[in-house]
Amino acid sequence: MEAPAAPHSPAETELIVTSPGQMGELGRRLAALLRAGDLVMLSGELGAGKTTLTRGLGEGLGVRGAVTSPTFVIARVHPSLSDGPPLVHVDAYRLGGGLDEMEDLDLDVSLPESVIVVEWGEGKVEELTDDRLFVRIHRAAGDTTDEVRHVTVTGLGERWAGADLGALSG
């Protein structure tokens, strides 16, 4: 993974990921920064690598169960195999409204003791907390064989103020 010379701000970094293996490794590195109460929002086109990143996060957090796309079940909870926080993996792709439509998932109840990762969460879960990590994954449009992804990780709120997200580049 390559990082540019300097991030845009202390709470943002940009990375270039060239393979699914590197995307998983980015997830494992990101897991080292996370703690119970963290919300991670993932944005990117279909096939960009959101679930691959989350699979690496699950490995890094040491949770039980295979991390797969929760598109049809909307949310999956992966309990910790140790004393770490569980991972709640949500796919909001099929949900149209904001937080009201997601109330049945009880994310606000789960947040204090879990790490919550929401794919396609923009405009739907921001009300959960002012402190969140936003991960945008961009890939070349129309070229499904290109493995290169441009990843921007932005920390929002007091939790991420001054965080060294540049450490994600390895």
Q: Where are the alpha helices (DSSP H) in 34-158?
A: 50-61, 99-102, 107-110
pLDDT attached to residue 9: 45
CB-CB contact of 161 with 11 (8 Å): yes
* Residues forming a β-bridge with 134: 41, 154
pLDDT attached to residue 7: 40
pLDDT attached to residue 5: 40
CB-CB contact of 107 with 88 (8 Å): yes
pLDDT attached to residue 8: 40
pLDDT attached to residue 72: 63
pLDDT attached to residue 98: 53
Burial per residue of 39-74, b for 16 or more beta-carbon CB atoms within 10 angstroms, e otherwise: bbbbbbeeebbbbbbbbbbbebbebeeebebbeeeb
Torsion of CA 141, 15, 112, 163, to 10 degrees: -150
Instruction: Walk along the chain (170 residues) and give the pLDDT tens digit of each residue.
Output: 655 444 444 489 999 999 999 999 999 999 999 999 999 999 998 889 999 999 999 999 999 988 887 666 678 888 899 989 999 998 877 666 555 555 556 666 677 899 999 998 888 788 888 899 999 999 877 656 678 999 999 999 999 998 889 889 87
What strands, in cross-sheet order, belong to the sheet with 87-91? 12-17, 149-156, 132-139, 39-44, 115-119, 87-91, 75-78
pLDDT attached to residue 57: 96
Q: Where are the alpha helices (DSSP H) in 62-105?
A: 99-102
pLDDT attached to residue 10: 47
Fill in the DSSP letter of residue 97: S
Q: How far apart are CA 169 and CA 122, in angstroms?
A: 25
What are the CA-CA distances from residue 154 to residues 13, 124, 125 (Å)?
7, 18, 16
